[in-house]
Chains A and B, each alone.
Chain A
Amino acid sequence: MASFDGVTVTLRLFAIYRERVGQECIEATLRAGSTVADALTRLGELHPNTLSLMPTTMVAVNQEYTERDYVLQPNDEIALIPPVSGGSRP
């Protein structure tokens, strides 16, 4: 179960995340068995100005909406999706 192997993933940042972090993309290596939630925690440590965005953020892994307890696999592409809103809600 415990492993010292890491899992390397890519975080893609859009819109307000991209602006606050100043990058479109971050590569991160986390402990094997880490989840989406762990990746968000790492991002929050590196960029505390993203923490206030996270409660309303949805997450996609490999372009599919995913829960935060999803266990990351090598080379997963995690995208942080702040509220999408092409216009006013009805």
Chain B
Amino acid sequence: MGTPKILITEEPLDAASVAALVKSNANGGVVTFEGTTRDETGGRTVVRLEYEAYPEMAEKTFQQIFDEVQERWGITDMAVAHRIGRLELGEASLIVAVAAPHRAEAFAIAMYVVDRIKEIVPIWKKEFFEDGSVWVGSAGLGPAPV
């Protein structure tokens, strides 16, 4: 039951309210993943982050992932919220909530959804350091901006 819920927003995220979207009496477990911004990457101190989305395609690819889950597990009680724009350290950038009749599949699906998001959803992260910044995944690719 339920329709997958997808939110891309510049507003702060709240894991409990995302989880509330998927709870139902038919389910025995809800797994909620909260991805938060980290203060260190490769030994450099991160001071803040920015996320940028291709919003129309991000929504489509979130939906594609939910379709994959439905096909593989028969589960539709899922919600995802992704924050974009400027984030300070420790803030939630991604929340995924999955509800399923049994905990094993709820954990497995949550893991699958998060992994797939990092593969196909067009949202980019820029890390800001004391002395510069880098788009994650594009570091070291040739000339700096002119």
* Binding stretch for chain A, among B19-27, B66-74, B99-107, B111-119: B111-119
For the residues of A in contact with B, the DSSP-based class is: mixed
A37 within 8 A of B: no
Neighbouring A residues of B35 by C-beta, 8 Å: 86-87
A51 within 8 A of B: yes
Q: How many residues of B contact A (CB 8 A)?
A: 32
Neighbouring B residues of A64 by C-beta, 8 Å: 60
Neighbouring B residues of A20 by C-beta, 8 Å: 145-146
A9 within 8 A of B: no
A12 within 8 A of B: yes
Taking CB as reference atom, which chain B residue is nearest A12? B54
B125 within 8 A of A: yes
Known contacts: A82-B135, A87-B118, A89-B118. The answer to whether A19 contacts B54 by CB under 8 A is no
Considering only residues 47-68 of chain A, those with a C-beta below 8 Å from chain B are 49, 51-53, 56, 60, 63-65
Contact of B137 among A12, A51, A52, A83 (CB under 8 A): A83
Interface size class of A (residues with CB under 8 A): 20 to 34
Known contacts: A16-B135, A60-B57, A90-B115. The answer to whether A84 contacts B145 by CB under 8 A is no
0/1 string, B111-146, CB within 8 A of A gives 1? 000010111111111100000000111100111011
B94 within 8 A of A: yes
Binding site for B on A (CB under 8 A): 12, 14-16, 18-20, 49, 51-53, 56, 60, 63-65, 79, 81-90
Binding site for A on B (CB under 8 A): 35, 41, 51-54, 56-57, 60, 82, 93-94, 115, 117-126, 135-138, 141-143, 145-146
A-B contacts besides A19-B135, A49-B145, A65-B120, 14 pairs, CB < 8 Å: A14-B54, A16-B135, A19-B145, A56-B137, A63-B54, A79-B122, A83-B138, A84-B118, A85-B124, A86-B93, A86-B123, A87-B35, A87-B125, A88-B41
